[in-house]
Structure 1
Amino acid sequence: MSEVTPEEELVERRMNRADLLTGIVFTVLGLAIAYWSWVMPRLEVRGIHPATVPGLVPGLLGAALAGCGIVLAWRAGAQGRDARFTEFFALFNQPETGRFAIVVTLALIYALVLVGLIPFWLATALFVFSFIFIFETWASPTPKPLARAALWALVQAVIVAGLVTVVFEDGFLVRLP
């Protein structure tokens, strides 16, 4: 039987804190989704069957997310009673934290700014191009040459934006913004 090194023990304590916070966030988010799904209009006046109300699936998914969050938080709390949050916050000094912040920022810009402001295909192409270009150059431990990264990102952006638009509009018959 191998012994656990102090470094492995520190990583495990940090991950338990991360799991605890993630579980709490998932629980709150799931409960909020379930609540807002519950208060959605039920459309009884139009004779809509109760099994097809608009908030049914989001409500079930919200409840499932809250349940998973509770289990994750409970498990992390039970396993990591001796862990301290100062050890957890040391994780934010890692390079991975910066890359995570880039991902969140790009996703929020795409979802909250670009989609709806410009055509969907263009917003998707800009998002994919930016994501690939940034992670192939500035956010990479081994950056690629700018011209090569830009060309690769452009090719991927055109392919992804085109395919996503065609699949949703023609395959799923969804009118995109």
Structure 2
Amino acid sequence: MILFAVGVAMLIGGYTMDRLEIRQIHPASIPGLVPMILGLAMMLCSVLLFLSARALHIAAQSQLAKTVGPSTASQFDEALNQTDDPITSNRDLFFAASYSVIYALALVGSLPFAQATAIYIAVFYTHFTWKRDGSASDHVKRIAFGIGFGIMGAYAIASLFEYGFLVRLP
């Protein structure tokens, strides 16, 4: 709900920004366009996250009902909490934070923007979709998809900035 509220605030804030039409600048180049797009994207992601968590909650509840039978809410919460792994969650949070800082401080600037972003996306995707019990062919497919996804995403982002927003990238 907090992410959705922040998205709404970004959308409203971007919409209410001053326009540059007074200075004979094209109306489509409004300064609030990027915050509005990011606000909409954040709202969409928060809804998808909510629906995913709800589906996981329902699946866990039905699985518990099959194995244990009818249960109380406290029994369900206890069983659901046993499936969460706080160590993995904290490790993933630390990875995301530290890798994002490394990207911003070390990769961008030492490599061209598109290459640095391709590496960032590929490693980030591969880390969060990796399955420890997967087969070797599954790992190779996942890495190959991560590299392809990183290259396509990075060059799409770089093209958007260079040609859409007319920003020179390092």
Query: Which structure has the highest helix share of the two?
Result: 2
Q: Shorter-chain TM-score category?
A: 0.3 to 0.5
The TM-score normalised by the length of structure 1 is: 0.44
